[in-house]
Amino acid sequence: MSNMAQELERRLHDLRSQGLYRELRRIDSAQGPCIHIDGKTLLNFSSNDYLGLTNEPALKAAAADVVERYGAGAGASRLICGSLAVHHELDETIATFKGAEAALSFSTGYATALGTICALVDKDDVIVIDKLVHASIVDAARLCGAKLRVFAHNDLNDLEDILRWSEHRAHGNGTKHRVLIVTESVFSMGGDHAPLREMVELKERFGAWLMVDEAHATGIYGEHRRGLAEALGVGDHIDVQMGTLGKALGAAGGYICGSRPLIDYLVNRARSFIFSTAPVPAAAAAATAGIKFVQSKQGAERCRTLWQNVHELLGVHAQIPANNQSAILPIMIGNEGQAIAAATKLRARGIFIPAIRYPTVARDAARLRLTLTAAHTSEDVKQLRAELAAQDLVPGERRVYSHEPAR
Ligand SMILES: *Cc1c(COP(=O)(O)O)cnc(C)c1O
């Protein structure tokens, strides 16, 4: 074995011994509430396809149609010659859906966070992030070169202290610093909500900028299903609204919406947008169809089904108040090995829920990340409920481990 392969084997061995080894599991069916793995059919409670749109005929037809008209690939980045009509239609559809002046789509949510944050702040600035934000935001915060400060999860006092510190820092050497606060609206691994109203109040008081990632809220919260910011009435007060197109919207990609100058600036400065081939036409068209579906009566109906399923699983005794509801209902385990054992046991019973471990969450904060979708039937949910009860597993706990560090 080569020197490199030997070294990597050693590192993999370490991962295995810590219960942190990951491997791909091949799925031999379409995404949906039932999936086929290793010749077995399992009920799938792990997807972010909250409205069951990945297999919706309208999305598939839209994708197939543009493949015929525009081809399989985009040919180049959008600033070279890849800015196809389907991409413009998608951007316009996002802006209308979100009630924003303008929007820009990216090939992934990860690329959206990276390109946007690095375009907005640099080494003279300060970036302030919640301790539990998604890896794409953490990576962007490191890459952008700004002074990075992390506030305790959803802790407004801690955030305020950091904002006060950054104000003093700005006065210190006379240069003008920007302060960018970044949070998720619904947290991807806990399903809990950020206090967006209070954060808007703080960012306005301190003259900071606020960016909110609605990856797990777009399509399922608010009167027009724009996200949690809409539900809390603060959509117009968030400078940079981010979301993904691959979760409730059923397709793939990410987006930013906000003011026209913000979007024009990102076209000029977001490197993950500029130096990357435009998304395939099929992805853009499916996302556009996904948004139109979400905006329709059927979309509203799907959303109601999703929340019915959540209530069905949690039952009437649920501890979670209605204004903090989520389709992400983690089962907290703690130890990595025990989390894998619990997932394996459930798999043997026909239930697929993945064990989420470090570095996705903190060490010893492992959990089963259970998600419900509108595509689950009430029978599916009843079966899940029975299997969880049989193993004393409690979904939807909002415990946050106090030691959870930034990744
Ligand atoms: C999934 C996710 C992303 C990344 O989006 P992709 O389109 O999957 O790259 C970004 N932020 C959050 C909070 C996410 O959950």
Which pLDDT band holds residue 336 (cuts at 50, 70, 90)? very high
In sequence order, the β-bridge partners of residue 368 are: 331, 355
Cα–Cα distance measured from residue 41 to residue 30, given in angstroms and rounded to the nearest whole number: 12
Residue 274's closest CA among 67, 141, 119, 121?
119
Measured CA to CA in angstroms, residue 386 lies from 16, 317, 326 at distances of: 32, 16, 20
Q: What is the pLDDT of residue 320?
A: 58
CB neighbour burial string for 309-339, b if at least 16 within 10 angstroms, e if fewer? bbbbbbeeeeebeeeebbbbbbbbbeebeeb
> Residue 220 Cα, ligand 1 centroid: separation in angstroms?
16
The answer to whether 47 is a known catalytic residue is no
CA distances to 69, 74, 176 from 84, in Å: 11, 7, 39
Residue 116 Cα to ligand 1 midpoint, Å, equals: 14
Token pair recorded at residue 3: 């020197």
In 62-192, where do the E strands start and end? 102-106, 126-130, 147-151, 179-184
Contact 157, 144 (CB under 8 A): no
Which amino acid, residue 39? Answer: G
Nearest C-alpha neighbor of 54 from the set 302, 234, 262: 302
Pocket test for ligand 1, best of 48, 106, 129, 136 (most atoms within 8 A of CB): 136
Using one digit for the tens of pLDDT, what is the confidence trace for 192-214?
999 999 999 999 999 999 999 99
pLDDT at residue 398 tops 70: no
pLDDT of residue 383: 96
**pLDDT given at position 204:** 98
Catalytic residue among 131, 153, 247, 376: 247
Q: Reduced to 3 states, what is the DSSP secondary structure of residue 220?
A: coil
| Tokens matching residue 202 | 């703080």
Distance 135 CA to ligand 1 centre (A): 8
50 phi/psi in degrees, rounded to 5: -55, -30
Q: Does any ligand 1 atom lie closer than 6 A to the CB of residue 190?
A: no
302 pLDDT higher than 90? yes
242 C-alpha to center of ligand 1: Å?
A: 10
Is 61 in a helix, a strand, or coil? helix
Contact 381, 43 (CB under 8 A): no
CB 391 within 8 A of CB 346: yes
CB 186 within 8 A of CB 167: no
Instruction: Give yes or no for residue 213 CB within 6 A of ligand 1.
Output: yes
Q: How far is the C-alpha of 285 from the C-alpha of 233, rounded, in Å?
A: 29
Residue 263 near residue 103, CB atoms below 8 Å: yes
Question: What's the pLDDT tens digit per position in 250-284?
Answer: 999 999 999 999 999 999 999 999 999 999 999 99
Per DSSP, the three-state class of 47 is: coil
| pLDDT value of position 19 | 86
Whether residue 407 is predicted with pLDDT greater than 50 in this model: the reply is no
pLDDT at 328 over 70: yes
pLDDT at 190: 93
**In this structure, how many other beta carbons lie within 10 angstroms of the beta carbon of residue 267?**
15
